[in-house]
A and B are shown apart, each in its own frame.
Chain A
């Protein structure tokens, strides 16, 4: 029931590897780690959700904040390797239309 957040910084790119569950308990930590990365102009933030097996609206909220921040700061964010169940929430809420998403090899996008 925890979330491990691992950030790897490269040139103009930050790779955020997440592992665990994103919920009301872990979302604040994620936000704290993610937002500063989106505040660097020209930075590309790649969030790897391959090992996130649970997420709810608290996670969606974090990614919405991060997306807004990218627009304000001239950075980019993409979410990659999203598992089926998590991707479903992005689709239900229509967020898949406004975010750069890339689903997992384990899942099939409709």
Chain B
């Protein structure tokens, strides 16, 4: 199995913590050697995912948590955002996850319309699991040759 470091954080499902996670990913990505542009992309993508979780996860219950996981590989960063407080079983999540399809009931994810679209555009790979709560798994590769904006939605559109 491929080696990786794993970092997990739980924050209250409140908008004021979106910025905290943004600082965290900035630090992790910087440590990995991502470019300034890529770090900015990662900051937007993770903020969108957490904003979705914060906005939609806990309509009636303000006590909720958002769980964020960072898997640091040699060549890429995988980021998981779950709108529930449970811990990740990485392998289990990966087994249950598939490419995002337009036919899936992600209408409620499209808060403001652009959140998921931006995640798709800014990350190299995006997968969504809707089985229990919503988990967004997104990947960005280090040192990948520049991809055109139109071309980097490979596994996320049909």
Contact = CB atoms under 8 A, between A and B. Distances in A.
Interface string A25-50: 10010000000000000000000000
B67 interface: no
B48 A56 contact: yes
A21 B20 CA distance: 12
B19 A1 contact: yes
Contact of A60 (B19, B50, B112, B121): B112
Given A56-B44, A57-B112, A85-B40, A24 B55 contact: yes
Nearest to A28: B15
Contact of A56 (B51, B54, B55, B149): B51
B118 A89 contact: yes
A93 B117 contact: yes
A56 B114 CA distance: 9
Contacts of A28: 15
Contacts of A74: none
A3 B154 CA distance: 35
Contacts, number: 59
A55 B16 CA distance: 14
Interface string B35-55: 000001001100110110011
Interface residues of A, number: 17
B114 A57 contact: yes
A107 interface: no
A15 B104 CA distance: 43
A90 B22 CA distance: 20
Given A23-B18, A25-B18, A57-B114, 14 more contacts: A1-B16, A23-B51, A25-B15, A54-B43, A56-B51, A57-B48, A57-B51, A58-B51, A58-B112, A61-B112, A61-B113, A61-B114, A92-B121, A93-B118
12 contacts: A1-B20, A23-B18, A23-B19, A25-B19, A57-B115, A58-B51, A60-B112, A61-B111, A61-B114, A89-B44, A89-B118, A92-B118
- Give the 7 A-B residue pairs with the shortest CB-CB distance, closest first: A1-B19, A61-B112, A24-B15, A57-B114, A25-B15, A24-B51, A57-B115
